[in-house]
Chains A and B, each alone.
Chain A
Amino acid sequence: MANYVIRRLLMIIPIIFGILFLTFLIKALIPTDAVSALFSGTVSEDKAAEAIAQIREKYHLDLPWYRQFGIYVWDVMHLDLGESVRTRQPVIDEIGFRYVNTLILAFSALIVAIVVGLVTGMLSAYFKNTWIDVTSMSVGMMGISMPAFFLGFVLIFIFSVQLRWLPVIGRGDFQSLILPALTLGFIEAAALSRVTRSSMLDVLSREYIRTARAKGMSESYILFRHALPNAFLSILTMIGLQIGNLLGGAFIIEVIFGWHGIGELAVKAIQWRDFTITQAVILVSAGTYVFVNLIVDLLYTWVDPRISYEE
């Protein structure tokens, strides 16, 4: 186990290096030079030439690419993500609070998704082919098919415009969190519910469940102690994927509900041609994804001790 953890951690190093190289390339792949983007408002550029030269020097754009890459890796290792081209503020300041917002929204949505998804999935499996099953699966199908922005606007219309219970304008507080967390949570719950249902159905038809029932065990004991843990492996895989998704930032949800996370920042940074921010957002999202994958892999061995990575 310890061996596995160490090996798994060592594997992260080349991955991180690869991510660094790819994010570094972003600067080269952006169609217009970020510096001239800064001056796109001015027509006659002869006078701005000197200012442009100053900025090129500041962002090391005058150096060969391998030296730029070296400086970049060195800075990132020192947690220096540079300065935003657009706001001239440290990138850490721009991205930090948005990352925290994304974490808060992702985990709130995840809680909604797990509670709703597991409960409806288990009920559907247990009451297979009854009205409970049909209803929850139909609602789930709607959840999967419905675009996030549509559900978001419907909820805003009902709870903010008509009932006026919750604010339209996001201010980063708890009230502003409710609608985006529900919207995102329901959409993720729909997929989770279907996975839960099918893997529970699979487990419930196994012989050891029949044996447990024959022994006269209570239904809830069977469901929670025998069935769920065995069905949990595929559910965990699904949850792992969803966390990765959610932490990448949910751009549309963030924009509609004014919840300022890194999804929104990523899209805006590209529009603004702010390459330092773009680089940082991708670096942070990719890093998070790697980290979440690691945790899920480690959880597998805990959920199912039969899975052993020892050779």
Chain B
Amino acid sequence: MKLQKLTQMGLASAVALFVASGANAETLRFRLGEDPESLYNVETNSLTANTVIASYLLERLVYFDKNGDAKPWLAESWELNEAQTEITFKLRNGITFHDGEPFNADAVVYHFNTILAPESASPHLASMGPLTSIEALDDLTVKFTFSEPYAPFFNELAGATGGFNSPKAVEAAGSGYGRAPVGTGPYMIDQWIPGTEIKFVRNDNYHEQFRGDAVNKGAPHAEEILLSVISEDGVAQAALEAGELSASMLLSDTIAQFMDHPDFNTVIDETATNLMFLEFNHQKAPFDDVNMRKAIGYAIDRESALAAAWDGFGTAALGPLALGIPGFDGEVAAKYGTPYDPEKAKAILDDLGWVDSDGDGIRDKDGKPAEFLIKGYAGYAHSSRTLQVIQANLAQIGINVTLETADWGAFYPSLLDDGWDMDLMRWTARDAGILGELFRSPGHRQKLPANAPLDDLLTRCNSTVDPAARNECVSEAQRMLLENVTIVPIMSNWTVIATQGNVKDYTIDRMGYLIPGDVRIED
């Protein structure tokens, strides 16, 4: 009798278990690689937090369309003054935050003033550039004033940094705001179990979707979105296979298993904004010589590196700007780049006097063997595999390199010291301003000699606000960087995502954010 009752209870709870885990068609389940530290865009700047903030919660004045052109979103229009130091935005009327507060010029002013205030210690402070003041001209008009023209600002406006929070909610929540953000976006935060999951519910009072690149102009399709923290790729794979995730970003190693699978779709975003490249210590011989750097450039087999590091899910790069960043010039890259040509590399080395005089397979010059140190960051397969390819490539032309890797936190500062010849670097950026930040002398690691024409050009690119004129400037900068072989570009990797077969319209925008209102589950 007792046993029977226990069995019944067991069955009942087993049934409850199945009901509980049964997938709700109205819930989208996505993966988060790590728990965001905060969802307040003033105080955070991590990739994870930015993606969550910008995809679901907060909307911006502008967005970038597929061509990388800024288009109005919460702004209706904008105009520049003659000197290009003032941008005046006209805001759309009738937009409200999740808490019912109106979105207006005061909310815009509040947001940017908070970033500028030193006590906020905002990591976005530096990216505000020469922004000096923001003022509300009337309820729906706001003016940004700069001490000099600042082109990268539109990128900040379109990214997570430029998303607006309800000022009333920020003030009310104090330091807890990062856990309970209030925006104007298609989804509202419902629950955040730290380290575990974040649940969003549909904003049923959602105004119209003003983005031209969105398919669905009304309220979003799915009632709920559940983001689960899954740090291991293997676990995400199992969760997809078990039907517990609607979609997940995966490593290229894992995505291959979903490529031809009938139950899954894959979304591959090829507009990469990242670039992996080899840098030189320009202050140390022999890499102070442009021809030496050029020889290295010709020696690198980018396709092999791409296959090793990302299973081919990427684009081999010849230009110094990632292909997804507006201003990237593929023609300049093809014309002035150093494509894989080991014979050419060897010929250059011969001309420079680096020959193998003692027959040990390693070139030497003035009694010094061609032995160099390449530094890299540890902990990522893509980095260690690329380093190995580079090592093999250079061995092929008679150069012996030693690899030294360390955790990013130790590696990056160590480049300020002198004991290295080359390093493997990777940056992700959304604006061509990155070229100036990295390569305007003395450069981000203090090793670049002054180069007045290039330095002036990079400065001019940042203060040219007109997009077409700016692109011309950025093209010119790419040409000069290639002629100078400041770096050896290697590759950009793509974002790869697997979704369940019935998940439709999973679209990543130009900034790399999901357009969540479009995503639907097909019955």
Contacts and interface: CB of A to CB of B under 8 A. Distances in A.
A89 B122 CA distance: 16
A152 to B, nearest CB: 9
Nearest to B38: A87
Contact of A42 (B17, B45, B407): B45
A284 interface: no
Contacts of A153: 234, 238
B437 interface: yes
Contacts of A273: 409
B412 to A, nearest CB: 7
Interface string B110-147: 00000000111111011110000000000000000000
Interface in A42-72: 42-48, 50-52, 54-55
Contacts of A36: 413
B125 A255 contact: no
Given A43-B437, A169-B230, A171-B197, A48 B126 contact: yes
Interface in B207-235: 228-232, 234-235
B195 A38 contact: no
A32 B197 contact: no
Nearest to B50: A41
B444 A43 contact: yes
B458 to A, nearest CB: 12
Interface stretch (B240-248, B478-486, B506-514): B240-248
B101 to A, nearest CB: 24
Contacts of A161: 238, 241-242
A175 interface: yes
Contacts of B37: 84, 86-88, 272
Given A54-B118, A175-B21, A31 B194 contact: no
A291 interface: no
A31 B242 contact: no
A112 to B, nearest CB: 18
B211 to A, nearest CB: 26
A274 to B, nearest CB: 9
B55 to A, nearest CB: 18
B119 A44 contact: no
A39 B413 CA distance: 13
B438 interface: yes
A240 interface: no
Quick one: which of B38, B229, B230, B409 has the most chain A CB within 10 A? B409
B87 interface: no
Given A43-B444, A45-B126, A55-B121, A37 B196 contact: no
Contacts of B409: 31-32, 37, 40, 273
B43 interface: yes
A128 to B, nearest CB: 33
A97 B197 CA distance: 14
A286 B234 CA distance: 31
B38 A88 contact: yes
Contacts of B118: 50-51, 54
Given A31-B410, A168-B239, A168-B242, A47 B178 contact: no
B196 A170 contact: yes
A258 B230 contact: yes
A156 interface: yes
B193 interface: yes
A167 interface: yes
A98 to B, nearest CB: 7
A98 B176 CA distance: 19
A269 B200 CA distance: 26
A258 B125 contact: no
Contacts of A94: 194
A256 interface: yes
B4 interface: no
B123 A157 contact: no
A54 B119 contact: yes
A268 interface: yes
Interface string A160-174: 110011011111100
A44 B126 contact: yes
A268 B46 contact: no
Contacts of B67: none
A93 interface: yes
A265 interface: yes
Contacts of B410: 31-32
Contact of B238 (A46, A87, A88, A156): A156
A182 to B, nearest CB: 16
B81 interface: no
Given A31-B410, A40-B412, A88-B178, A168 B194 contact: no
Nearest to A156: B238
B385 interface: no
Contacts of A41: 45-46, 123
A265 B438 CA distance: 33
Interface string B3-32: 000000000000001001100000000000
A52 B118 CA distance: 9
Nearest to B21: A167
A194 interface: no
A201 B244 CA distance: 48
A157 B238 CA distance: 7
Nearest to A37: B409
Interface string A77-102: 00000001011110001100110000
A168 B413 contact: no
B241 A89 contact: no
A197 interface: no
Contact of A268 (B34, B128, B196, B235): B34
B193 A169 contact: no
Interface string B42-65: 010110000000000000000000
A89 B173 CA distance: 12
Contacts of A39: 123, 126
B196 A260 contact: yes
Contacts of B175: 88-89
Interface string A228-271: 00000000000000000000000000011110100011001000
A160 B123 contact: no
B179 interface: yes
Contact of A168 (B46, B123, B196, B235): B235
Contacts of B126: 39, 42-48
A167 B244 contact: yes
Given A51-B123, A161-B241, 10 more contacts: A42-B127, A48-B123, A48-B126, A88-B178, A89-B178, A97-B195, A160-B238, A169-B230, A258-B235, A268-B34
6 contacts: A47-B126, A87-B38, A161-B242, A167-B244, A257-B235, A268-B34
Interface of B: 17, 20-21, 34, 37-38, 43, 45-46, 118-123, 125-128, 175-176, 178-179, 193-197, 228-232, 234-235, 238-239, 241-245, 407-410, 412-413, 434, 437-438, 444
Q: Lowest 4 CB-CB distances: which A-B pairs, in order?
A: A260-B195, A43-B437, A51-B121, A32-B409
